[in-house]
Amino acid sequence: GDRPVAWGEMADCLAEALDALPQDAASARAYARRFSVLVLSDAVNNPPVPEPEVGGYYERAGLRSRHAALLLVASTEGGDASAAAALATLVAAGHVVPAAAALIAGFKGVDDWDRRVALLSVASSWRWAGTDRADEKKGDEARDA
C-alpha cells in the first residue's frame, strides 16, 4: 500500500550510505552525515503522517543506538537543536534503550569534560514516562544500560 516509509528504514539507508563512503573522504563523510541528520530530524519533527497517526509513527520509528548516536553527535558537536528535539521526541515515544546506549558510548569515546557536559545537557531534555508493564520493562532496561 501507500504506507509511509518507517523512520528506521530511512535511518538504515542513510547509515549504509555513510558506511559506503571511503574512510579518507572526510569532506564527503561530513556532508553525508549532515544531510542524514537533516533528513532524520525533519522526518521526526515534521512527521509524514496525519495527526492521529503521529504517536504510532514515533513508536514504530525503529531507533537504533547507531541512529541515536548520529543525532546525539549533531546535537552536541554541531549544536543542532532540531537533532536534539528529534532525539528527545523518540525517547519520549519509548526508544529509551538505544538512546541510553548512544549516550553511554558517547561518554566512553570522549575524555574532554566539556563534551561530556554537552552530552549530559542534551540528555537532560529527554522525558519518558512508562504507562504499562512493557514500558516499565523498557525503563528497567534503560536504567540497566
Q: Where do the H-state alpha helices sit in 46-132?
A: 54-59, 65-76, 81-92, 96-108, 113-123
CA dist 85 and 9 (Å) reads: 20
pLDDT tens digits for range 106-145: 888 888 888 889 999 999 888 876 555 565 666 566 555 5
CB 42 within 8 A of CB 5: no
Other CB atoms within 10 A of residue 2 CB: 3
Instruction: Kindly give, in sequence order, each residue whose CB lies less than 8 Å from that of residue 69, ignoring residues fewer than 6 positions away.
Output: 102, 105, 106
Other CB atoms within 10 A of residue 117 CB: 11
- Does 3 score more than 70 pLDDT? no
The pLDDT mean for the chain works out to 85
Residue positions counted in the chain: 145
According to the model, what pLDDT value does residue 1 have? 47
CA dist 96 and 83 (Å) reads: 16
Rg (CA), the chain: 15
- Does 76 score more than 60 pLDDT? yes
According to the model, what pLDDT value does residue 140 have? 60
